[in-house]
Amino acid sequence: MILFTVLLVLGSCLDRIDIPVLGVDSGDLIVDGLITDEPGPYTVKLTKAIKVDDSRQVGEPIYAKQITLFDNAGNEEVLKQTGNGIYQTKPGGIQGVIGREYFIRIEMYNGNVIESLPDRMDPVGEVDSIYYEFESHQPADAPTEYGYRIFIDAHNATGSDHYLRWKFTGTYVVETLPQYKLCDISPCLDRYCPLLCSGYAYVNGELKKGYAYNPKTKMVEYTGVECTCCRCWVTPREDKPKVNDNQISKNGKFIKVEMGYVPINYYTFFEKYRVEIMQMSLSRAAFDYWKAVQSQKEGTNSLFQPVTGKIPTNLFETTEGMGVQGIFYAAAVTKRQIYLDKTTHKVYIRSPQDCFLREGAMGEDCRTAFPGSMSTYQQPADWK
């Protein structure tokens, strides 16, 4: 079994999904790309497939001589390399248009050429509403857990039988106290070891704000620098895609489709939690791809996990060379958001406590404190 990483790109946002894939050879080229009807830049990422038991989380980047994006109206654009195996269109460059078809051509340095099949951008419809149901759960040996089960009502484009994908994204703001980082040596038996980014340091045995250790002078000096790793916006990674088709809709409408779950705890509701649902139109080829990914992700948690199968791809080689997997596709998108906060449903939220019995936020760098999530100190542009 081989693991490859899918990066969906919407504008400048990257969304990673770790996918166990059956029937993919280690070393295969993995292509991940998307064009939408939102303003670019659009991104194509090239990596090498790795085995599931590989200690690395992401395959090595692969570099192309040139990647070109085409549409069926005669437009084309050469993508520019912007990172390790990452290629982007220009801001203000080619723009996705509903009804047009798009494909890419990848020219490798060894002469191999890879293309994607043309993928049509279909209309997308709308997310009509987002709503929730409050839930509680009593574990056998732990305090009661609370959360919100998220649902949507949505509809397809008028007169359309197009396929859809929904993407649930949760984002919350946190504050941590990295000056209270527990020391790695003899934790709980020693004093705190404040992180450099905290803006704190010990002065005469007391934690002082605005001080930092200077490696050049090997002394603690007053800098006046504020904490740079205390406040972050955290977005848990999507664990699996969710797709649907009109076979289980009613007159193009989807009612009470479950999107995900929001746990209520000290950090998720430190201030407020934003739920965003993105609805994306899919061609049949893109639907088959994401349906297969969804099925394999669901199968990993099932006693009836399939033992054979392969994720379909719309990529092919025009010359002999390495194997290729992944997808490049076109999707129109629409979004809807709601915010939840401590007043949405009042419950007692227990404050964390460290081994010194200090209550409050953890003593960690907020950018690395939440594994399985993307954390940034930059506030989202559309945060309300």
Per-residue pLDDT tens digits of the chain, which is 384 residues long: 444 444 443 333 344 444 444 334 456 889 999 999 999 999 999 998 865 444 445 678 999 999 999 999 999 999 999 999 999 999 999 999 999 999 999 999 989 999 999 999 999 999 999 999 999 998 888 888 999 999 999 998 876 667 999 999 999 999 999 999 999 877 788 789 999 899 999 998 889 999 888 888 888 888 888 999 999 999 999 888 899 866 566 678 899 999 999 999 999 999 999 999 999 999 999 999 999 888 877 766 554 444 445 788 999 988 776 788 899 999 999 999 999 999 998 888 889 999 888 999 999 999 999 998 999 999 999 999
Domain assignment present for residue 271? The answer is no
> Tokens 């059956």 — which residue?
22
Residues 90 and 203 placed together within one structural domain of the fold: no
C-alpha 161/C-alpha 18 separation (Å) is: 30
pTM across the whole model: 0.84
Domain assignment present for residue 166? The answer is no
Give me the domain span that covers residue 83.
Answer: 2-123+281-333
Residues 125 and 224: beta-carbon distance below 8 Å: no
Residues 206 and 289 placed together within one structural domain of the fold: no
Residues 32 and 95 placed together within one structural domain of the fold: yes
C-alpha 211/C-alpha 196 separation (Å) is: 9
> Checking DSSP bridges between strand 145-155 and strand 101-107, what pairing results, if any?
unpaired
Residues 27 and 62: beta-carbon distance below 8 Å: no
Give the pLDDT confidence score for residue 223 in this predicted structure: 86
C-alpha 27/C-alpha 102 separation (Å) is: 27
CA distances (Å), 57 to each of 6, 232, 238, 297, 344, in order?
Answer: 12, 23, 16, 17, 37
Give the pLDDT confidence score for residue 187 in this predicted structure: 75
Q: Total domain count for the chain?
A: 2
Give the pLDDT confidence score for residue 8 in this predicted structure: 40
Domain assignment present for residue 319? The answer is yes
